């Protein structure tokens, strides 16, 4: 079947802070009834301002958080009903790339050790020699000099670190990579390089992406299908061209205009 991941009517409630105890409701919904489908080799973009529930939703579909209600299906099976082995298969096949790759790399280990770690965890037939060869090959694919393997996370640039994060995710040959604001901390020109790299690698490996960003122009650049989120709800969704060129809601129109302002800000900030 061509659907890898499916989320149905996801709701996630958090308890309100003490100061907000007198609000009418004790809980607030960070994600409020969202459904989505991740198809093989496709990119689904999720866009919305900070706090709209994007990260919470993505962590739920990747198994890092439990929803308050709703169901996540991996190849048609409710992930709560998977055997331990199948659940591990799900976790290996749904990888994440976050905004700050230097945070997710261990600073006291070399890049080599950082890349070996997930392979040790997930690969049943782990052979170090074989793994090192695969690593060097993958580094070439993400356009890094294998000499970088001897460096530490603190010694490399943001762009290099993001390429390492992509290589680390891809080494596990995942079916889905969830990119949560994965280019947002980078300069404009590096953002474009990473986005092009993601598209190139998708062509080669057929990986599906869930691409999350507050920047609708980055989302549009890589996505086949776009969902616009606000206050935990999906405001608008459809094929990327439709959402970008024929936005239905004023909020989407605002995201489109403000995305260009962000671009200018970046240029001035450099
Ligand atoms: P986004 O990724 O779109 O910026 P998030 O999913 O991170 O949004 O957050 C959505 C809302 O949920 C925010 O108001 C955030 O403060 C709140 N939130 C996220 N995680 C928690 C948590 N663990 N406890 C309480 N509130 C949370
Ligand atoms: Mg977020």
| 97-125 confidence digits (pLDDT tens) | 998 877 778 888 999 999 999 898 888 78
Q: What is the pLDDT of residues 163-196, one digit of tens each?
A: 999 999 999 999 999 999 999 888 888 899 999 9
Between the CA of 180 and the centroid of ligand 2 the distance, in Å, is: 7
Between the CA of 233 and the centroid of ligand 1 the distance, in Å, is: 13
At residue 35, does pLDDT exceed 80?
A: yes
What pLDDT, on the 0 to 100 scale, is given for residue 21? 57
Q: What is the pLDDT of residues 214-250, one digit of tens each?
A: 999 999 999 999 999 999 999 999 999 999 999 999 9
Q: Do 48 and 215 meet the contact criterion of CB atoms below 8 Å apart?
A: no
Q: What is the pLDDT of residues 84-96, one digit of tens each?
A: 999 999 999 999 9
In degrees rounded to 5, what are phi and psi of residue 15?
Answer: -70, 145
Residue 152: pLDDT band by 50, 70, 90 thresholds?
Answer: very high
Residue 269: pLDDT band by 50, 70, 90 thresholds?
Answer: very low
Between the CA of 213 and the centroid of ligand 1 the distance, in Å, is: 14
Cross-sheet strand order for the sheet of 94-97? 94-97, 176-180, 208-213, 43-47, 225-230, 233-239
Ligand 1 pocket residue status of 180, Cβ below 6 Å: no
Taking each helix axis as running N to C, give the angle between helix 111-122 and helix 158-171, from 0 to 180 degrees, rounded to the nearest 10. 20
What pLDDT, on the 0 to 100 scale, is given for residue 185? 86
Ligand 1 pocket residue status of 50, Cβ below 6 Å: yes
What pLDDT, on the 0 to 100 scale, is given for residue 179? 96
Q: Do 257 and 247 meet the contact criterion of CB atoms below 8 Å apart?
A: no
Give the pTM. Answer: 0.91
Ligand 1 pocket residue status of 55, Cβ below 6 Å: yes
Q: Do 151 and 184 meet the contact criterion of CB atoms below 8 Å apart?
A: no
Atom of ligand 1 nearest to the CA of 180: 2
Q: In the chain, pLDDT over 70 holds for what percent of residues? A: 92
């Amino acid at each position: 079947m061509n659907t890898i991941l499916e989320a149905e009517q996801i709701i996630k409630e958090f308890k309100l802070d003490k100061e907000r105890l007198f609000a009418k409701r004790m809980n607030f919904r960070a994600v409020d009834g969202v459904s989505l489908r991740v198809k093989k080799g496709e990119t689904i973009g999720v866009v919305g301002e900070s706090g709209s529930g994007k990260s919470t939703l993505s962590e739920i579909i990747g198994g890092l958080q439990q929803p308050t209600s709703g169901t996540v299906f991996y190849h048609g099976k409710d992930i709560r009903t998977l055997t331990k082995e199948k659940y591990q298969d799900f976790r290996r096949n749904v990888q994440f790339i976050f905004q700050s790759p230097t945070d997710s790399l261990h600073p006291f280990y070399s890049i080599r050790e950082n890349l070996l770690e997930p392979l040790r965890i997930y690969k049943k037939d782990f052979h170090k020699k074989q793994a090192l060869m695969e690593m060097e090959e993958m580094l070439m694919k993400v356009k890094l000099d294998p000499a970088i393997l001897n460096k530490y996370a603190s010694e490399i640039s943001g762009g290099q670190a993001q390429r390492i994060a992509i290589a680390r995710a891809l080494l596990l040959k995942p079916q889905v990579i969830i990119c949560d604001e994965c280019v947002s901390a980078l300069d404009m020109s590096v953002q474009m390089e990473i986005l092009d790299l993601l598209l190139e690698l998708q062509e080669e490996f057929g990986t599906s992406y869930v691409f999350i960003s507050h920047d609708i122009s980055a989302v549009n650049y890589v996505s086949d299908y776009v969902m616009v989120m606000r206050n935990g709800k999906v405001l608008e969704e459809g094929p990327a061209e439709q959402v970008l060129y024929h936005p239905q809601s004023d909020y989407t129109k605002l995201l489109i205009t403000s995305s260009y302002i962000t671009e200018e800000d970046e240029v001035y900030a450099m």
